[in-house]
Amino acid sequence: MPEPLTFPSAFLWGAATSAYQIEGAVREDGRTPSIWDTFCRTPGKVIGGDTGDIAVDHYHRYRDDVALMAELGLTAYRFSVSWPRVQPTGRGPAVQRGLDFYRRLVDELLAHGIKPAVTLYHWDLPQELEDAGGWPERETAYRFAEYAAIVGEALGDRVEQWITLNEPWCSAFLGYSSGVHAPGRTDPAAALRAAHHLNLAHGLGTSALRGVMPARNSVAVSLNSSVLRAVSDAPEDLDAKRRIDNLANGIFHGPMLHGAYPETLFTDTARLTDWSYVQQGDLAAIHQPLDALGLNYYTPTLVSAAENAPSGPRADGHGVSENSPWPAADDVAFHQTPGDRTEMGWTIDPTGLHELIMRYTREAPGLALYITENGAAYDDKPDPDGRVHDPERITYLHGHLSAVRQAIADGADVRGYYLWSLMDNFEWAYGYEKRFGAVYVDYATLARTPKSSARWYGDVARTGALPAEEATTE
């Protein structure tokens, strides 16, 4: 029999969530609306008119949820802080009742031996800051730094792992260019400004955290860097790949990791902007030394020049919109990659995760890596006995964890894996239609039922070993 694949003994086995997707309690303890509260109430923006008003009520059920994590054998939990719960207007002093929730959550996690990892921003900008211009405005980056210092000071004595931003690409380009995410704007030039100010927020926020926290704490950012492939080696297809790589990856990791934007990004987007909002000192402010880098991966992206375009809607995996999330790249075509797909329509390809890890191993040698999101949505349903079997997700996880283990064998310093998601929840513009959770949630009763994948993943976490076979845990 093949030997199981073992992971390093200190490897973190976690799950991840975000505040708006699970907390609910949107009007309690001083919380005010975020851009997602507003977006959900805009007709036609979210399937079924769903909102995160209740979500899965984690705000009131967090103790039970932490106990469930411990029962499953998780050693780490990545969650996000709701900015409008802590600083309702995005300015000024904190609301202590909001901070107290996160203090209680952290204490509960530590009491169960689970390492907390805090993400400061997972897309829920206070609506008042959006009313003042949102991420396209420079002031928002300064407000984020103030907020980072507030949370860092409150939790930094007990939380060692910190992430400034989650997937700033989504915040900038789905929020301000294609409009499929909050705040739903469709201005590609504004999206490019938003990307720069998100970068600046990351840099200023990193400095702010380090100013109030113990030096032992780790600061990172989570990027949904695209694994890009061209349909052919034709020069025009390779150029399409290069242009999307700039917009998907270089626009963030360039200044964050290397202190500079790709020069070709400026020429590619010159018809939209002159980039004059990049002020003297910005790149130095953004280029803060990082302790780790979070990588979020779901599926690769296949592109070509427009003359090789397939028929039908744009197959970039980022929702249907008449407006593109790729500024100045309307002549790039996106193709559906071959293979089995999840309920999101995303192709299952673990080789892309290995490719992504090895890219950043080369680009940022010496920087610790964490897989801060990876997972799959399936049409999970309870059987007549109330059990939820999801063998497809087990197969998915086995393949992607095997890719992580291979990357470690190939020299990558990967120190942890956070499954997306701990439990079924509000899936942004898809409402409650897509289930990413390892734990099934009955949205009528909010009862939690671990799926077979949760038990399987828990066994892997407890043993630190990936079984040779993708056996389902009953």
In sequence order, the 6+-apart residues with CB closer than 8 A to the CB of 64 are 448
- Would you call 167 a catalytic residue per the annotation? yes
Residue whose C-alpha is closest to residue 56's, from 439, 430, 454: 439
Of the residues 373, 392, 427, 469, which is catalytic?
373
Indicate the SS3 state at residue 263: helix
In sequence order, the 6+-apart residues with CB closer than 8 A to the CB of 315 are 302, 334, 335, 336
Indicate the SS3 state at residue 151: helix
**Local structure of residue 15 (DSSP, 8 states):** E
Distances (CA, A) of 209 to 90, 102, 109, 195, 341: 17, 17, 21, 21, 40
Angle between helices 58-72 and 96-111 (to 10 degrees): 20
Of the residues 128, 167, 355, 433, which is catalytic?
167
H/E stretch holding 243 reads helix 235-245
The torsion angle over the Cα atoms of residues 404, 407, 411 and 413, rounded to 10 degrees, is: -30
In sequence order, the 6+-apart residues with CB closer than 8 A to the CB of 195 are 168, 169, 172, 173, 251, 252
H/E stretch holding 16 reads strand 12-16
Q: Supply angle C-alpha 166, 171, 173, rounded to 5.
A: 130
Distances (CA, A) of 188 to 50, 136, 248, 271, 309: 27, 11, 14, 11, 22
Give me the residue label for tokens 């995410």. Answer: 181
- Would you call 373 a catalytic residue per the annotation? yes
Q: What are phi and psi of 229, to 5 degrees?
A: -135, 140
| Catalytic positions | 167, 373
